[in-house]
Amino acid sequence: MFNFHDQGRFVPYTCTQCDEAWCLHACPVDAISLDAATGAKIVSDAVCVGCKVCTIACPFGTINYNQSTGKVMKCDLCEGDPECAKACPTDAITFVDANWTGLEKMRSWAAKTDSAVQAGA
């Protein structure tokens, strides 16, 4: 979660954990690795030298430099149980199986089709 204090905004930036992660491939010291269990791309603070190349490589702005640590930070999926999804009171953030990311949209369109059929009956 990133806070834009001057604008009074709190914005969740969700890393898509790209299969071919730009951040991971761009890192010159291999500080970003794949967590095979969760699919998360993980930054090793011990290896990261704070060069910020990954922040340029990520097209979504979801990996950011932390001036106080001199390292970058990104979503690590909280070991497969993301705190953001648990904390969201309106279920605006959900954590779903990567194989089924389009399922809810399919369900919603199917429900609309049902309504249209019933209205025409």
Contacts with ligand SF4 by CB under 6 A lie at: 15-18, 21-23, 26-27, 29, 31-32, 41, 43, 48-54, 58, 60, 62-63, 72, 74
Smallest gap from Cβ 106 to ligand SF4, in A, equals 24
Smallest gap from Cβ 37 to ligand SF4, in A, equals 16
Query: Token pair for residue 68?
Result: 């106080």
> Nearer Cβ to ligand SF4, position 49 or 111?
49
Tell me, rounded to whole angstroms, the distance of Cα 49 from its chain centroid: 22
Nearest-angstrom CA–CA distance, 25 and 15: 15
> Nearer Cβ to ligand SF4, position 62 or 91?
62
Smallest gap from Cβ 56 to ligand SF4, in A, equals 9
